[in-house]
Chains A and B, each alone.
Chain A
Amino acid sequence: GESVGLHLPTLSVQEGDNSIINCAYSNSASDYFIWYKQESGKGPQFIIDIRSNMDKRQGQRVTVLLNKTVKHLSLQIAATQPGDSAVYFCAELPGAGSYQLTFGKGTKLSVIP
């Protein structure tokens, strides 16, 4: 999940296993959510997004689940690979007409070969 304080939460998974990264968002009016991947020394890269009228969206090896009742978002990565090692951020867009994404603090995923 998202961090409090100076240290990022870390998720360590074995290569080939599935990873689940969680995110709690704050604004019940948010209608768009996005996951980014940030490798060391690089800028955040888009992974997948989802609108609030959906519960689930799938991409290539990734799935995002949205639970609006408890304001929870998760990113599932299937068959995790060493190249998936990175920090993952969720972000929310609070409502129609807004263009300012609010970012979570991130979760570090470490893949054990």
Chain B
Amino acid sequence: NAGVTQTPKFQVLKTGQSMTLQCAQDMNHEYMSWYRQDPGMGLRLIHYSVGAGITDQGEVPNGYNVSRSTTEDFPLRLLSAAPSQTSVYFCASRTLRGTNEKLFFGSGTQLSVL
């Protein structure tokens, strides 16, 4: 049981490049989400999904796209990277069944945009 797995762990991009951050979970969680973490800003929600085929915007969605074709995977796409997207990105998931609201996090992707 690996939990939430994120790849890559580190990435450097040039302004204007595109890339996809991968996230996979093996806990059969309905809910998956992406956060960015910046110094002094805490964790801010980018996009989330409550099931395959369903996605929605969080607090800071601009510049990012997501899709949820399977329960396990929730990739985050940067179509044209900007220096303002330099951050640490975390994927998190939880079940929506029962009363367990605990959110499980991946180990993060540190992204630098030059």
**Is this pair of chains taken from one and the same complex?**
yes
Please give the residue numbers on chain A whose beta carbons come within 8 Å of chain B beta carbons, in ascending order.
3, 5-8, 32, 34, 36, 41-46, 49, 89, 91, 93, 99-101, 103-106
The interface bits of chain B over 1-23 (1 if a CB of A lies within 8 angstroms of the residue's CB, else 0) are 00010000000000000000000
Please give the residue numbers on chain B whose beta carbons come within 8 Å of chain A beta carbons, in ascending order.
4, 31, 39-43, 45, 48, 50, 58, 90, 94, 96, 101-108
Whether A43 contacts B102 by the Cβ 8 Å rule is no
In the complex, chain B residues whose CB is within 8 Å of the CB of A44: 43, 90, 105
**Residue of A3, A8, A101 touching B103 (CB-CB under 8 A):** A101
Whether A100 contacts B42 by the Cβ 8 Å rule is no
Query: What's the nearest-Cβ distance from chain A to residue B41, in Å?
Result: 7
Complex CA gap A21/B96 in Å reads 29
